[in-house]
């Protein structure tokens, strides 16, 4: 059996590994002498094992050292619960290259009859937050043995200085004393395994950034290796969304090792949109006493990798109805609202440029540049147009949109669709001469021959079939001999008169032959405009026609009076029939 153990120890040494150590007293003090408690820390008489240094025993600011021979005494423990400043303490520091496995703290303590009744042992490893051991302090004026277990995983392989604090409390008498009469720390001190001294450090989180769906970009990052020994390593992704390329070997000395990642076009990668999160484990494969794959106290590094996979964002502009408008006149401005759908983690970021846009007839006005990167984004733009010809109009004005410049991005165009109806302006004319001035001459009528009539009509000149503005008769202003010569025209006699001679408005002019002998004249000024409800329609009375009525009442000859009267009656009947 001894031979087998000898061979095992030899094998450990060949690997540069340390043999297990057995717990023993590593620090102690019998505490003898005059008033040790008045010195903090107190080191006289202490023993310290090799490869370890110790501060001696001291006390916190909340405990007051007091006179007592052959024991380390203090008072001021008068709190009902643990006081963070009232304690005895020890600091133990392993030498470089060595570690401590603690086993116990033993010795004798002593309390006066009014001394503290409770204790707690804590360590600096967790900032004195948790109890290692806690309990009651017995005895009254005589020494009592204590044995506090330090056999805890957290107190194994300690390679840095550690401080233990023994807190005491539970008396109302500030003069009550508590002392440590002697103490011993049992622990095992061992050399830290050396083995391969390489340490690989991964970088900060890496990102592919924003990536178009279906794209397979690559990024690179560097591993930093320290230590004089060469090593090998493995870099492995947590899923098939990325592929890792690395040579797996790092030379001796300080090195920078390049690792390449490529995003894959699959379900875990760029085949669908959204935020992707990956992890690349970097494993130092050097073997040490810690076990293969840890490399000289070198834990695996996890490199966080992310990507945001997005699809092309689509903008939609609402259709605009520019209404009815006269040819050559600008329509009133209407608003189109540009909206989008989709959030920033699934769709590209696009910018609607602020400049104006046109298709030669309709213009979308300039406005502030608008970034679209979430579904709540929208903007409104004014739209107006001018048409050179009459008819039903429709079209589309393309808007300038830019993307974020991603590889594979295809910026989706946006356009404002519009409809409008353009009308040629109305034009009033007399039916009989297609002109704007008409004279109706009754000639000479015999006095006493009654009322004579002449008819005509007013029409809206047709320019474009179905797209000529309607005609309104706005005003009728007569002057002259209105009581003798008149027409049956009144303001508002017709509105929105359709174009074409077949839609003419008939009127009659009348001449009173019973008026006194003489020559008579009446003038009518007729005002017209385009029908209401059309943008750019002519204003009230903007168009004018002039109607001139003339006639003479003469003296009848006696011999022809009856014949003339009969003739007038016949003529009147004939005209009425023609009308």
pLDDT at 5 over 50: no
The better pLDDT of the pair 569, 430 is held by: 430
CB 340 within 8 A of CB 313: yes
Average pLDDT for residues 115-136, to the nearest whole number? 96
Average pLDDT for residues 87-98, to the nearest whole number? 96
DSSP-derived pairing of the beta strands 543-554 and 437-446: parallel
Closest by alpha carbon to 77, among 179, 180, 173, 181? Answer: 173
CA distance 281 to 433: 98
pLDDT 10s digits, 474-496: 999 999 999 999 999 999 999 99
pLDDT at 85: 97
CA distance 471 to 495: 6
Average pLDDT for residues 351-363, to the nearest whole number? 96
CA distance 306 to 275: 7
pTM: 0.60
pLDDT at 500: 97
Residue 197's pLDDT band (boundaries 50, 70, 90)?
confident
Residue 269's pLDDT band (boundaries 50, 70, 90)?
very high
Average pLDDT for residues 203-214, to the nearest whole number? 96
Residue with tokens 């409390």: 169
pLDDT at 26: 97
Residue 394: other Cβ atoms inside 10 A:
11
pLDDT at 514 over 80: yes
How large a percentage of the chain has pLDDT more than 70?
A: 90
pLDDT at 193: 63
pLDDT at 174 over 70: yes
Residue 566's pLDDT band (boundaries 50, 70, 90)?
very low
What does the mean pLDDT of the chain come to? 90
Residue 29's pLDDT band (boundaries 50, 70, 90)?
very high
DSSP-derived pairing of the beta strands 414-423 and 320-326: parallel
Residue 227's pLDDT band (boundaries 50, 70, 90)?
confident
Average pLDDT for residues 309-317, to the nearest whole number? 97
Residue 7's pLDDT band (boundaries 50, 70, 90)?
very low
Q: Mean pLDDT: which of 202-206, 293-297, 355-359 is highest?
A: 355-359
CA distance 451 to 487: 12
Residue 194's pLDDT band (boundaries 50, 70, 90)?
low
pLDDT at 558: 57
Average pLDDT for residues 90-108, to the nearest whole number? 96
- What the chain holds in terms of domains, given with CATH numbers, is 16-191 (2.60.120.430), 199-310 (2.60.40.10), 315-423 (2.60.40.10), 428-578 (2.60.40.10)
pLDDT at 318: 97
Please classify residue 330 by burial: count the beta carbons closer than 10 Å to its beta carbon, then call 0-12 exposed, 13-18 middle and 19+ buried.
middle
CB 500 within 8 A of CB 462: yes
């Amino acid at each position: 059996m001894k031979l087998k153990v000898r061979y095992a120890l030899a094998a450990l040494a060949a690997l540069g590994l340390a043999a297990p150590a057995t717990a023993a007293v590593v620090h102690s003090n019998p505490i003898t002498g005059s008033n040790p408690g008045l010195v903090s820390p107190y080191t006289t008489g202490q023993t310290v094992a090799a490869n370890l240094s110790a501060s001696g025993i001291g006390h916190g600011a909340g405990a007051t050292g007091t006179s007592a021979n052959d024991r380390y005494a203090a008072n001021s423990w008068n709190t009902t619960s643990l006081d963070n400043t009232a304690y005895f303490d020890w600091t133990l520091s392993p030498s470089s290259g060595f570690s401590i496995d603690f086993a116990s703290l033993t010795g004798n303590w002593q309390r006066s009859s009014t001394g503290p009744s409770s204790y707690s042992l804590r360590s600096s490893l967790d900032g004195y937050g948790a109890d290692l051991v806690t309990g009651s302090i017995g005895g009254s004026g005589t020494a009592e043995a204590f044995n506090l277990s330090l056999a805890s995983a957290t107190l194994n392989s300690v390679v840095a200085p550690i401080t233990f604090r023994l807190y005491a409390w539970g008396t109302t008498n500030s003069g009550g004393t508590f002392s440590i009469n002697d103490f011993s720390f049992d622990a095992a001190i061992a050399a830290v395994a050396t083995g391969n001294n390489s340490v690989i450090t991964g970088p900060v989180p890496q990102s592919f950034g924003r990536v178009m769906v279906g794209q397979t970009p690559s990024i690179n990052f560097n591993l930093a290796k320290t230590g004089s020994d060469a090593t090998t390593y493995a870099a492995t992704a947590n899923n098939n969304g990325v592929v890792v390329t690395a040579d797996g070997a790092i030379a001796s000395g300080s090195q920078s090792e390049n690792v390449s990642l490529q995003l894959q076009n699959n379900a875990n990668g760029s085949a669908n949109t959204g935020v992707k999160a990956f992890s690349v484990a970097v494993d130092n494969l050097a073997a040490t006493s810690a076990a293969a794959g840890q490399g000289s106290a070198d834990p695996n590094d996890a490199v966080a990798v992310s990507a945001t996979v997005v699809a092309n964002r689509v903008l939609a502009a609402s259709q605009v109805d520019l209404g009815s408008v006269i040819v050559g006149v600008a329509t009133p401005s209407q608003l189109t609202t540009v909206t989008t759908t989709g959030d920033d983690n699934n769709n590209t970021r696009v910018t609607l440029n602020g400049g104006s846009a046109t298709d030669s007839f309709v213009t979308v006005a300039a406005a502030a540049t608008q970034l679209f990167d979430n579904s709540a984004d929208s903007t409104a733009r004014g739209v107006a147009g001018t048409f050179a010809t009459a008819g039903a109009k429709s079209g589309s004005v393309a808007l300038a949109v830019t993307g974020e410049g991603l590889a594979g991005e295809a910026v989706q165009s946006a356009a404002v669709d519009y409809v409008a109806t353009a009308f040629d302006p109305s034009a009033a004319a007399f039916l009989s001469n297609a002109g704007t001035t008409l004279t109706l001459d009754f000639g000479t009528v015999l006095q006493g021959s009654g009322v004579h009539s002449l008819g005509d009509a007013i029409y809206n000149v047709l320019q474009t079939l179905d797209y000529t503005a309607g005609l309104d008769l706005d005003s009728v202003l007569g002057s002259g001999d209105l009581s003798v010569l008149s027409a049956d025209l009144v303001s508002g006699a017709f509105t929105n008169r359709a174009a074409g001679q077949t839609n003419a408005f008939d009127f009659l002019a009348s001449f009173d032959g019973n008026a006194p002998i003489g020559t008579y004249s009446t003038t009518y000024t007729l005002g017209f405009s385009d029908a209401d409800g059309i943008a750019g329609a002519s204003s009230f009375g903007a168009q004018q026609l002039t109607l001139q009525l003339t006639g003479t009442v003469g003296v009848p000859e006696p011999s022809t009076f009856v014949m003339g009267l009969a003739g007038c009656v016949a003529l009147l009947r004939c005209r009425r029939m023609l009308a």
